[in-house]
Amino acid sequence: MKALAEAAVDAAVGAGASYADARAVSLRRQYAITKNGQVDGLSDAESEGVGVRVLVGGAWGFAGEGRLDEAAARDAARRAVEFARAAPGLRQTALAPLDAQSGSYRTPMERDPFDVPLTEKIDLCLRAEEGMRQSKVKVTLAMVRAQREHKVLATSDGVSIEQELVECGGGIDAYASEGDVTQIRSYPSQHSGVSGQGGWEFVEQLGLDREAPRVGEQAVALLSAAECPAATTTIVLSPEQAVMQLHESVGHPTELDRVYGTEAAYAGTSFLSPGDLGNLRYGSEKMNITSDATTPHGLGTFGFDDEGVPAQRESIVTEGLLRGFLSSRETAARIGAGVGGCMRADGWSRMPLVRMTNLHLEPGEGSFEELLEDVAEGLYMETNKSWSIDDKRLNFQFGAQIAWEIKNGKLGRMLRDATYTGVTPIFWGKLDAVAGPEEWQLFGLTNCGKGQPGQEAHVSHGASPARFRGVEVGVSA
């Protein structure tokens, strides 16, 4: 793979590229899904190819070929140069300097998830499903997955990197239904469960079968729960809901390519501008956000990003003040700060984009119970159900699968169809407490969409339960 990546770079430079990088990628994905006691899906998929990105006269070009041989690599290089030459528009493209990098990285793990027999995976899913079964539960679903990505990166400025990233995960869902009401309850999240880098031990520690009875019982209990009333009140978000809030209202708006408008037509832009760096108050002093591509088990963990920039941990928001953007070498050079480090591509057939790696809400102090103690009246919301945010990442509306009233510091009755809404910096300004490190949890999501053609990034976020005052809840049609 190294030889063909280098052949692609040589071919691109020979054809006139001032810069070129080539990623040779071999990807394997496996999943097992059971539904209502039957095997619903059992798949083992591989994909391999080379993606070549070039700069010609300041214009980017990219081509992907679904073969791993030198002829295909050189052909992709030639086509990428051809496309760059044809691209209209005048531009000057500078890249932040990068010392020549060479190295390798491999996900540490105990038990390779691809060594786990499919029968063992199916049995785990079926056990978890069995645990969720209740009289009004109409659908039970369990899923486990595994992925191995082996990739080699070579660039015309001396980068030579080899990495093998392994991840796995799983999740369960129960759908209960009665009359005109249908409710879903999931664990650990609704978004295809939760994944992390590492071996099968990551899936085992999720305890899908252990949590299943609670998930089934809560799905049924939601059918007779009261609807969330409309109010302005204090809310406490579970770590899983807090990370969705973080992902949408901090992660995406701090992607520097969005700030510069290159995602405007599809995913949107950002309410942030380059001049906000170091100046903008994003939220309260309790708000501390870090981007960390070194987090153990993070889906955004690597040795080097897809431009060859070494993994790093940096502050994005410190005590409520914007301190950093997520960047590439190109956007870092444009803003004159940072070195990049967030360029990631979905497989071999897509151009790298600025993506989140692992973005965390840093913990505060105290327990979940202590967080509730200071709430005379409010809501606790758990597990994301719906999510929507505007094209500048300002106005958002989220729904949670389940909520409970908080009365005098204690959880009270269960509520269904809970929603809350707000405007990003105003909302984060209402953050008045984050629970401590002992409550902090990491969630890995595999469905972060961006780009045209579309790319799905795998990202992780960590958070402890977080409390916000004066939030509008109970939005309904």
Partner 1 sequence: MSRALEIAELALSTTRGGDAEVLVHAERSGVARFAASIVHQPTLIDNAVVRARVVRDGKVGWAATNRSDKERLGEVMGRAGEAADSAKPDPDFPGLGAPGGYPEVAGYDEETASLGAEDQARLAAAAIEAAPDFGLYGYFTSGVTEIAVVSSTGLSADQSMTDAVCICLAADDGASGWSERTSWRVGELDPAEPAREAAATAAKTRGAGTLEPGTYAAVLEPFAVAELVRWFSYDSLGAQGYLEERSYFCGRVGERAFDPKISIADDALSTANLPKAFDFEGTPKQRVQMIEDGVIRDVVWDRVTAARAGEGHASTGHAPPDAWRFFGPLPTAFSMAGGEAGSTEELAALVGDGIYVTRLHYLSVVDPRGGVLTGMTRDGTFRIRDGKVAEPLVNLRFTVAMSDVLAEVPGLTREPMLVNLNDLYDERFPHAALVPALATRRFHITGTGSGPGL
Residue 39 is a binding residue for partner 1 (CB under 8 A): yes
Residue 388 is a binding residue for partner 1 (CB under 8 A): yes
Q: What are phi and psi of 425, to 5 degrees?
A: -70, -25
Residue 45 is a binding residue for partner 1 (CB under 8 A): yes
| Residue choice 155, 195, 233, 455 for contact with partner 1 (CB under 8 A) | 455
CA 56 vs CA 91, 95, 133, 243: distances in Å? 10, 13, 59, 40
Contact by Cβ (8 Å): 439, 239? yes
| Residue choice 335, 337, 414, 475 for contact with partner 1 (CB under 8 A) | 475
Contact by Cβ (8 Å): 445, 461? yes
Within 10 Å of residue 321's Cβ, how many Cβ atoms?
18
- Residue owning tokens 């990428």: 80
CA dist., res. 8 & res. 50, Å (int): 9
Provide the minimum distance between the beta carbon of 435 and partner 1 in the complex, in angstroms, as a whole number.
27
Beta bridge partners of 167: 147, 197
Contact by Cβ (8 Å): 334, 269? no
Q: Contacts with partner 1 in 291-350 (CB under 8 A)?
A: 349-350
| Residue choice 83, 164, 314, 337 for contact with partner 1 (CB under 8 A) | 83
CA dist., res. 201 & res. 188, Å (int): 16
Provide the minimum distance between the beta carbon of 384 and partner 1 in the complex, in angstroms, as a whole number.
10
> Measured from the CB atom, is 300 or 399 closer to partner 1?
399
CA dist., res. 213 & res. 194, Å (int): 18
Q: Contacts with partner 1 in 152-181 (CB under 8 A)?
A: 175, 177, 180-181
Q: Contacts with partner 1 in 124-153 (CB under 8 A)?
A: 126, 138-139
Residue 426 is a binding residue for partner 1 (CB under 8 A): no
Residue 79 is a binding residue for partner 1 (CB under 8 A): yes
| Residue choice 9, 11, 22, 61 for contact with partner 1 (CB under 8 A) | 61
Residue 223 is a binding residue for partner 1 (CB under 8 A): no
Q: Contacts with partner 1 in 17-36 (CB under 8 A)?
A: none
CA 207 vs CA 124, 137, 283, 402, 434: distances in Å? 10, 20, 35, 20, 26
| Residue choice 66, 97, 229, 412 for contact with partner 1 (CB under 8 A) | 66
Burial 34-58 (b: 16+ CB within 10 A, else e): bbeeeeeeeeeeeebbbbbbbbbee
Residue 207 is a binding residue for partner 1 (CB under 8 A): no
Provide the minimum distance between the beta carbon of 39 and partner 1 in the complex, in angstroms, as a whole number.
4
Specify the stretch interacting with partner 1 by CB under 8 A; choose among 98-106, 279-287, 381-389, 426-434: 381-389
| Residue choice 169, 196, 300, 451 for contact with partner 1 (CB under 8 A) | 451
Residue 390 is a binding residue for partner 1 (CB under 8 A): yes
Contact by Cβ (8 Å): 54, 352? no
| Residue choice 318, 319, 423, 436 for contact with partner 1 (CB under 8 A) | 423
Residue 476 is a binding residue for partner 1 (CB under 8 A): yes
CA dist., res. 458 & res. 473, Å (int): 30
Specify the stretch interacting with partner 1 by CB under 8 A; choose among 1-9, 14-22, 40-48, 108-116: 40-48
| Residue choice 367, 397, 407, 432 for contact with partner 1 (CB under 8 A) | 397
Contact by Cβ (8 Å): 444, 196? yes
Provide the minimum distance between the beta carbon of 62 and partner 1 in the complex, in angstroms, as a whole number.
5
